Chains A and B, each alone.
Chain A
Amino acid sequence: MAKIEDIFENVSDKTLVLLGNEAIARGIIEAGVAGVFTYPGTPSSEIPNTLYAAQPLLKEIGYNLYLEWSTNEAVALEGAYGFSLLGHRVIFVCKHVGLNVAADPFMTLVNAGVIGGLVLIVAEDPHMHSSQNEQDNRWYTKISNAPMFEPSDAREAKAMLKDAFRISEKYQVPVILRTVTRISHSRADVHLDPITFPEFRQAISLEIDPRRFVCVPSNARQNKQRILGIINDISNYLANSPWNRVDEGTEEKFAFITCGSAYNYLKEVLLKLRMSCPILKIGLSHPFPRNQVTQFLTKYSSSLIVVVEEADDVLETFVKKLAFEIGFQSKIVGRREGVTPSYGELTIRKVWNGLSKVLNLDLLPPEIPQKQSELTFARPPVLCPGCPHRATFYALNKAVSRRHRIVSTDIGCYTLGVAPPLSAGHVTICMGSSLGIGSGLTHSPGLKDPVVSIIGDSTFWHTGLPGLVNAVYNKSNLLLLVVDNSATAMTGFQPNPSSITSHSSVETLAIEDAARGIGVKHVATIDAYNPKESIKVIKEAIKHKGVSVIVSKGECVIQSTRREGLPESTYYIEADRCVGCYACVNMIACPAIIWSDRITTEEGKPIPMIDQSLCTRCGLCAAVCPYHVIVPRSVDEVLGD
């Protein structure tokens, strides 16, 4: 990652290698944005992370940025709207599914419109590198009428952001900037433009016209007409937008229409095929650029029109619809004809294969040799060595048999606990779903086994709360295990209401207090790293009728190690005394426990050892070993061994 002081240097002529999300963060400051509201989620998180890290530096140069880690995307968008109503430029950032959470305010506030520019940056994750679904948010523009920009790379994302604000303010409408993993998490040389300092106007509350912003039916009907008119106006205004441009070509057998990330793969394939064909690159995809697409179709009416896009067939649908409307006679091919696959992330190879097949090209991409499967093995992401969740799940497994329970887990690092041997999870759907599904399970006829819901601290505050209220209200017989690691760890350690903070601008809340306040009678706190005690507390809670809540506290080991370093003393397996029972291996599966070269003297069984380069000295393995052969030792003693 680039250094914060470089990214936010107040210069007008400099090129830096930036991550797409860093470039967008710089763009936010170049656009003079006064507020950023967000809930973290991959692949969007580095946008607010970068700005959060830059806040002190920005303050020094006189740029006061309000950055809010909102507790979920719905309140984040509503908060951003508050800034807009007072005339400030404001940004809302989320991952693709975050827009589902914010969809309720979103669908209506588009109609009511904005005062200060409001841009929603929404990052999609084709191939689901870090997501529970693949979702093409371009469809949201069709049901909400919000305009959308689709950059192809980091440089465009930064430039488009500023135009998005211009349109948002000129037409008083929120605008979406859509990015995907391979833009947000790609690096490129990016040119820096000057920083714009936000202008703080006097409060203009008189401009908040209730006839527009109070969305009761009579006003809402007017707002619906308002947005339809605006979309029409924007269409006319942008009839020749430079963001929808044609890359000219000399061969007219094929003419391509593409957008966003797909543009890069298409360009590259055409380079490899030494083909020079015209390409209409759509950068501003909603309102659908009828005028420019019509011109392109008309000009290339004797060519085969090929639509290339990532994710769903949104562009193709609207190009084909337009072609039908204008009586276009030539053939148009896209997803339906096999140009691009219907799921996953595009690559050069996928686009090349698709084009070869549909366009009957002779040149195919080079073949891939067969994989040597017996030598490679799966290396899925796992809970880190020393992760407090491992200790909590071990205790849960000891207290409640894995065979006789249903575990409804949630979204966060702890979802990784579903893998054997911890096996802590039967179902995960979305943020906060552990409680709703868990509660539903308890009322299902025929249930014999206890139901445990697992949720992290940040997810608890995000959408866990309404589920807990519902479970208490409906007298569900449920154990909620909150795995509180005091961090939103998976997305990069953003603060949340109950995490350790030194910021005076936020309040620290306690999950136990919230549970008691809601009316949970049985509330307990355990130390994740004290499994013996945890087992007792969990056993007791599972017997309780009604909702019980256990908060398992254990700070994320990455976060605590960064702040305080590792403990002085480490752990060591005394090989001479190890009997080869493998409790440590089979019950906790810590990545730091590996096989040594030694074998037990009696039965010749291999003996595990602790990889000191991975061990974070949490001591869980020592607590698990029934023969007490895993013992604390000084680091010098072990490494000298």
Chain B
Amino acid sequence: MEYQIFLAGVGGQGILSVTDILCNAAVDMGFKVHGSETHGMSQRGGSVFSNVRFGEIFSPLIMERDSDVLLGFEPTEALRYAPYVKPNGLCLVNIHPIPSPSFTLTKSSYPEIKSIVLALKTYTPNVVSIDATKLASELGMSIVQNIVMLGSLSAVPDLPLSVDSLKIALKKQFRAKHFNLNLKAFEIGRQAYKNNNP
């Protein structure tokens, strides 16, 4: 068995925290884990990705057209890394856009979300859109959009990680005073996946 999750977004979105939680949950369930991530220069507001692989694996990197899930924390970043999702894999995307400063300079506008979702569908028919940032804002902390996305992922039927193991890893990740908010974000994301997945 092997299972692979490709996480993509913008530096500062908390992608490494989610990577941590997924790795810990996988080890908790007895899997061998391997992951890879972006540090250093490319982190500063740039495009970042991380890979989580567990099961019978060696490489820390996922191959194009091979990831079971593409977890996109930002629409155009999801599209940038869409070649990594399996032809019948799942693309779970936060549709809240984050423009780039180069954008503002060239006075171009952010592409239409609808077009991005359509483009994502050329890589896999299974695209689930979640407005994770909006859901997180409703909790009063837009930054927990990453945990909303994690919650959505937890509802994916073929994910070999149990909700319990994810919650244990979630609890380990944050200080006690932040746990409740993150748990709420997780549950909201979980529900959002169920609501948005026809």
Contacts and interface: CB of A to CB of B under 8 A. Distances in A.
Interface of A: 1-3, 15-17, 42-43, 45-46, 129-130, 153, 182-183, 185-189, 263-265, 267-268, 271, 347-349, 352, 365-369, 371-372, 374-384, 413, 416, 420-421, 490-491, 585-586, 589-591, 593-595, 606, 608, 613
Interface in B3-51: 10-11, 16, 19-20, 23-24, 27, 32-47
B95 interface: no
Interface in B99-149: 99-105, 107-109, 111, 115-116, 119, 122-123, 142
A416 B44 contact: yes
B66 interface: yes
Nearest to A265: B59
A182 B41 contact: no
A267 B123 CA distance: 27
Contacts of B58: 263-265, 267-268, 271
Interface stretch (B72-80, B155-163, B176-184): B72-80
A45 B32 CA distance: 26
Given A377-B100, A379-B10, A348 B40 contact: no
A590 B101 contact: yes
Nearest to B37: A185
B167 interface: no
A17 to B, nearest CB: 4
Contacts, number: 175
B76 A182 contact: no
Contacts of A376: 76, 79-80
A375 B116 contact: yes
Q: Which 10 A-B pairs have the closest CB atoms?
A: A42-B40, A130-B40, A381-B46, A186-B60, A187-B35, A130-B41, A366-B65, A264-B58, A381-B44, A348-B63
What is the predominant secondary structure among interface residues of chain B facing chain A?
mixed
Given A15-B27, A189-B33, A375-B116, A347 B61 contact: yes
B154 to A, nearest CB: 18
B179 to A, nearest CB: 14
Contact of A591 (B43, B77, B101): B101
Nearest to B43: A381
Nearest to A20: B60
B44 A383 contact: yes
B17 to A, nearest CB: 9
B39 A42 contact: yes
A129 B142 contact: no
Say which size band chain B's interface belongs to. 35 or more
A129 B116 CA distance: 27
A266 B197 CA distance: 38
A382 B46 contact: yes
A186 B79 contact: no
Contact of B56 (A2, A271, A367): A271
A42 B109 CA distance: 34
Contacts of B56: 271
Contacts of B33: 17, 187-189
Contacts of B47: 379
Contacts of A383: 44
Contacts of B19: 187
A377 B87 CA distance: 23
Given A265-B59, A376-B79, A382-B45, 4 more contacts: A1-B16, A187-B19, A264-B58, A379-B47
Nearest to A19: B37
B57 interface: yes
B34 to A, nearest CB: 5
Contacts of A186: 34-37, 60
Contacts of B63: 347-349, 352, 365
